[in-house]
Amino acid sequence: MIRLCSDKAAYEAVPKRRLRVDLAKLRRSLERDGDCEIALWTRQLMVVKRRDATEITIVDDGRLIIRNVANERVAQSTADALMPKLAISKR
């Protein structure tokens, strides 16, 4: 599910069921792919900056906050592209 955040500056993607994302494993996978920069990483969340200026905050329960996208369709596409990596990292 994608919805506009209350501040209207980002979109939130919430998976149908909560995940338990292994952020350390996901970080290694994203760094290996090389198309983004890890701006912040903790055990609970990670902030990823992509080359197209999209910024994604990934929470360890699978929620995504997607910034710097033109509209909801682009946010959905961004979330859809990242979800397989989250599912791989699922415990």
Q: Give tens-digit pLDDT for 30-79.
A: 999 888 999 999 999 999 999 999 999 999 999 999 999 999 999 999 99
The pair of structure tokens assigned to 83 is 């979800």
Q: What is the mean pLDDT of residues 17-26?
A: 89
Sequence-distant (6+) residues with CB within 8 A of 85 are 26, 29, 30
Tokens of 3: 């919805």
Q: Which domains does the chain have, with CATH numbers?
A: 2-88 (3.30.310)
**Whole-angstrom distance, CA of residue 60 vs CA of residue 58:** 7
- According to the model, what pLDDT value does residue 90 have? 60
